[in-house]
Amino acid sequence: MVDKALCEHLKKYHRGQESAASSKELEAAFHIKGTELRRAVNRLRCDGQPICSNENGYFYAARQSEIRATVAQLTGRISKITAAKNGLLKFYEEKEG
């Protein structure tokens, strides 16, 4: 699995948001597709590794503010996914109701 190698790579070469690595760069370096990269990042985050992201790519957190910004980004995504789910359920309930 690529997780440990990815974590070590980010920790060594991409610490802090100013050193973010693009998804394409990491996909090429580890010979994986974007889907697998996102899954690996998710597993690392779930294991407590401070892997952050922004518009420039992925990086190993150097500051707590970077973690807070990534958490805010994830929270926004959760809200949008919840709204989409609720819209689908509303349609389903109106059709079935």
Would you place residue 89 in the very low, low, confident or very high pLDDT band (cuts 50, 70, 90)? very high
- 67 alpha carbon, distance to own chain's centre: 12
Tell me what the mean pLDDT of segment 70-94 comes to. 95
Contact between 53 and 59 (Cβ < 8 Å)? yes
* CATH code, domain carrying 58: 1.10.10.10
Determine the structural domain holding residue 11 and report its residue range.
3-96
Total of domains in the chain: 1
Stronger pLDDT, 1 or 36, i.e. the higher one? 36
Read off the amino acid at residue 41.
Answer: V
Cβ atoms within 10 Å of 29's Cβ, excluding its own:
15
Beta-strand runs (E) in the chain: 51-54, 57-60
**DSSP 8-state symbol, 21:** B
